Amino acid sequence: MSEKTYAVPGSISRRRFLHGSAAAGAIMALPGATLAQAEGQLLLWLPGGSDLFCKIHTGLLEGFSSSANLGPATTVCGLGQDTEFTQALIGSITAGSPPDISMLWDSPVSLGAQGAFMPLDEMMKNSKIGIDTWPAGLLSSCQFKGNTYGLPVTAGVYTMWYNEELLESKGIPSDRASFPKTWVEMRKLSKEFTVWDGDTLVSAGFMPNRIPETMAIWSALNGGMLFDEANLKYMLDSEQNIEMMNFFLEWLDEEYKGDVNLIDRAGNFKEAYPDASSGLGPAFREGRQAGLISGSWLMGDIYADPVPTFTRWNMAPIPVGPSGTTAVSGTWPNWFVIPVGSKNPQAAFDYLSYLAIEGSVEWYQQIPDVPTNSQVSLKAPNSLIENRGAEFADDLTAFLATQAAIVTPMWNSPSQSFGNDQMARAMEKIYTKAASVKDALSDAQSAAQAELDRVMAG
Amino acid sequence: MGKSTPSGQAGAETLPRRRRRAGRNEARAGVLFALPWMIGLAIFTAIPLVLTFYIAQARFQITGAPKWVGLQNYSAIWADPAVWTSAQNTLMFAMISVPIKLVLALCLALLLNRVTMLSGFYRTVFYLPFLMPAVAGSIVFILLLNPVAGPVNMMLQAMGLSPPDWLLDPKAALWTLILLSLWPLGVETLVFLGGLQNIPKDISEAADLDSPRGWHKLVWITIPLITPMILFNLVTGIIYSFQVFTQALVIGGTTGKPAEATLMYMVVLYRAAFRYFNMGHAAAMATVLFVVVLLLTLLIFRTARSWVYYEGESR
């Protein structure tokens, strides 16, 4: 065997090794270089949403950038929802290459308090979208310790949606004024429509609420609250909330055989959208459900696939609970934030000013998320006028404005996601009979309060 | 004199030097070849491991700098009911799935060991599920076990049986998850098969002569001779089952639907880190898991001295 057999440095020389390392380094650095964003060119990130949603925002940003001579703008759509989107956003902030503006579908308070988003207060002072131009209850969903970390530019307003044709088929008045005013009335009306074929739910009236995000509204309608912002205290196991869940559970037992799984086997009776996991269609749009709670955004989606089997849907205020006294509504805002590290913070803020006033009107015309800034006057969306006529569209727009004025504070906890998750967990345990109402809410309360205290400790 | 030394003598003098130099070159080549792996190990395993131990004692929410809080994160996980629920689910999952998996893999290996025709084909078939990404596999099972349109329930209904709500009923969901974990048995089976095929023929034939009963041979000859493989599958099985994540996340989401029945320890860890951005909490959970798995592994290795037989080893 010759020495050459061992002469490995000949086959992988130091020079070659260094060349290889340099090439590898260049490849690793490439994404950073391509992602680097030029000053003056706005970059907007959007979470999930339909193609139409993406198209609207792309158009709005391009239009603004062009009129402000900012150069080509980029809108990145469909980066995922919930956790995935937030992960991507936080990742980009820590990597030093965040977008200039990002939409959020979760309260910006929690991440803002952790230093992920720029406080907007200074920029708001000298702008046309000052603090006093926003509904205080809504803006509080962006505020923490005196700082405003985002803007609730538009919001879907929650109301009861119902099928006028189904009501009339039973000889029940279908006008908004005749819609049930209390939970007891709604439960009574619901029975008229609930039909079982053995263990198969054929059609239903209304349902005990199973959407965790709307629980703050139902709690307020029963005179309670989930989170006491003034005292920074969760109230998940308050008397009103225990009463609320007991009411829902009794309703489930009485009308729906006490089994949520039987309901879920028959279709999606929870929401007006197809169920992602089972693929089952929305019972409301299929004409198999008299009504349900939903956001105003459904107006934009209702004519998309799957189309409703009926034409005459309407909206009404959400009924009041046994311990409640006043009607309230709720919202799910579209928040906008300027991440820390944005290359163009002032231009980004200028875009938010434009979006909050002019842009949101155009947005509402195509997808009816209600503009929240007080300077915006609402006009009925064209799609609604085309499908239901100008009178109905104007009436509904006015109704949404009244509902937007009575929204209950929600999305205002510094540990919002955690609190929502705890409520979702409690509801699942209650509805599947895995725990009693009191125990489930008590567990959720302890966990939510502990997390809040941790976040507040800083 | 040195310069006039005969070549044979000179060769004899330089041979150790040549060997030493060759050895050095060989070592250098070895290091170079191992270098990419060593760098990868340092960057992706060793440094994160050390950082995890550090972050476990800090308040860190990714966007700011870590702030030292001592053992606060450990007391927080002690007080977190989700940690206990998930630990209980994970323990149950491990205690049931690992032994069943071992027994099934052994049975399968015994069968494959007897197959003479198309043995390669069967081995490949049984290994294939392991190659399918866990996410894809989980989605397939979600569709198969769908209570309305899933073929499994349709078949059971056609047979006059009342099928369970596999993934919707809190009482059934964990069992379904355990059932799904039994699906990719390929690695365990191949490890056992390797062990079975290494059993010396003379011992096997002698056992056949001694006792006509097959289970006698299995219990007294086969199983003792494959105990190193059982040990390997047991240790890796326990490590895997304590880290079960993908299937649980795809099926139960971050809340462990339904009613936390599928909430696993790693899911709680993941959501603490990437949903609530409470990295300290997540790192403390990771540290506890590391210690628990390490202790369990050490315990198994300790007991292994009394039940694992290595060929050629004197007792």
ipTM: 0.76
pLDDT in tens, A358-397: 999 988 888 878 888 989 887 788 878 888 999 999 999 8
Average pLDDT over residues A159-187: 97
pLDDT tens-digit readout, B82-104: 999 999 999 999 999 999 999 99
| CA dist., res. A233 & res. B115, Å (int) | 67
* pLDDT over threshold 90, residue B272: yes
Predicted confidence at residue A212, as pLDDT, reads: 93
From residue A15, how far is each of A6, A22, B35 by CA, in Å?
A: 18, 10, 16
Same domain, A239 and A98: no
Quote the pLDDT of residue A37.
55
A278 contacts B80? CB cut-off 8 A:
no
Give the pLDDT mean for B125-146.
87
A173 in the same domain as A118: no
CA-based nearest residue in chain A for residue B275? A83
Task: Give the pLDDT score at B277.
Answer: 86
Question: Within 10 A of A54 (CB to CB), how many other CB atoms are there?
Answer: 16
Stretch B58-84: mean pLDDT: 89
Range list of H helices, A235-381: 239-255, 260-266, 298-301, 345-354, 360-366
CA–CA distances in Å: residue B79 to residues A7, A257, A448, B82: 61, 36, 12, 9
Query: Tell me: the pLDDT tens digits for A308-365?
Result: 788 899 999 999 999 999 999 999 999 999 999 999 999 999 999 999 999 999 888 8
In this complex, do A83 and B62 lie within 8 Å of one another by their Cβ atoms? no
Which pLDDT does position A224 carry in this prediction?
97
Query: Which residues 6+ apart lie within 8 Å of B87 measured at CB?
Result: B265
CATH number for the domain that contains residue A101: 3.40.190.10
Name the residue facing A265 among B148, B255, B278 (closest C-beta): B148
For residue A6, is it within any domain?
A: no
Task: Among A398, A430, A448, give the residue marking a domain's end.
Answer: A398
Strand partners, A154: A334, A371
Q: Is residue A353 included in any domain, yes or no?
A: yes
Can you tell me the mean pLDDT for A102-127?
A: 90
For the ranges A35-39, A166-170, A446-450, the lowest mean pLDDT is seen at A35-39
| pLDDT at residue A449, rounded to an integer | 94
Q: Which two tokens stand for residue A309?
A: 């089997």
Identify the band that residue B236 occupies on the pLDDT scale cut at 50, 70 and 90: very high
Confidence of residue B283 (pLDDT cuts 50, 70, 90): very high
Q: Is residue A202, in this structure, part of any structural domain at all?
A: yes
B112-131 pLDDT, tens digit each:
998 878 888 888 888 888 88
User: Does A421 sit within 8 Å of B63, measured CB to CB?
Assistant: no
Round to whole Å and give the CA distance between A36 and A193: 58
Let me know whether A347 and A243 are in one domain: no
DSSP symbols for B275-306: TS--HHHHHHHHHHHHHHHHHHHHHHHHHHHH
Q: For an interface test with A, which of B33, B60, B63 has the most A Cβ atoms less than 10 Å from its Cβ? A: B63
Tell me the mean pLDDT in the region A201-216.
96
Q: Are residues A29 and A140 in the same domain?
A: yes
What pLDDT sits at residue A36? 47
Domains identified in chain A, total number: 2
> Chain B neighbours among A 202-231 (CB < 8 Å)?
none
Write the residue in B28, B62, B170 that is nearest to A8 by C-beta: B28
pLDDT at A38: 58
User: Do A451 and A325 share a structural domain?
Assistant: yes
**Does some domain include residue A373?**
yes
Does residue A76 fall inside a structural domain? yes
The single-letter code of the amino acid at A443 is D
Residues A268 and A415 grouped into a single domain = yes
The yes-or-no verdict on residue A3 having pLDDT over 50 is: no
pLDDT at A162 over 80: yes
Residue A27 has pLDDT above 70, yes or no: no
Q: How confident is the model at residue A305 (pLDDT cuts 50, 70, 90)?
A: low
Choose the closest CB to A6 out of B26, B257, B260. B26
At B232 the pLDDT is 96
Q: Pick from A21-35, A297-311, A368-382, B38-52 the range whose average pLDDT is largest.
A: B38-52
The confidence score (pLDDT) of residue A273 equals: 87
Cβ atoms A101, A42 nearer than 8 A: yes
Own/partner pairs for A275-284, CB < 8 Å, 24+ apart?
A277/B142, A278/B146, A278/B147, A278/B148, A278/B149, A279/B146, A279/B149, A280/B148, A281/A306, A282/A306, A283/A203, A283/A204, A284/A161, A284/A163, A284/A308
- pLDDT greater at residue B215 or residue A27: B215
In this prediction, residue B314 carries a pLDDT of 54
The pLDDT of residue A8: 38
Specify the pLDDT at position A401: 86
**How many other CB atoms are found less than 10 A from the CB of residue B35?**
12
User: Which segment, A205-209, A421-425, B167-171, B250-254, is predicted with the most confidence on average?
Assistant: A205-209
Shared domain for A217 and A276, answered yes or no, is: yes
Containing structural domain, residue A345:
20-156+332-398
Question: Over chain B, what is the mean pLDDT?
Answer: 88
Residues A415 and A281 in one domain: yes
Q: Is residue A2 part of a domain?
A: no
Note whether A126 contacts B: Cβ–Cβ < 8 A. Answer: no
Residue B312 pLDDT more than 60? yes
Q: Does some domain include residue A95?
A: yes
Are A142 and A273 within one domain?
A: no
Taken as a whole, chain B contains a residue count of 315
Residues A238 and A364 in one domain: no
Its pTM stands at 0.81
Q: Look at residue A12 and tell me if it is in a domain.
A: no
Q: Are A197 and A302 contained in the same domain?
A: yes
Inter-chain residue contact A279 with B169, CB threshold 8 Å:
no
For B181, counting Cβ atoms within 10 Å of its Cβ (0-12 exposed, 13-18 middle, 19+ buried), the class is buried
Q: What are the structure tokens assigned to B187, written together?
A: 């690695």
Interchain proximity A93–B81, CB inside 8 Å:
no
Residue A261 and residue A174 in one domain = yes
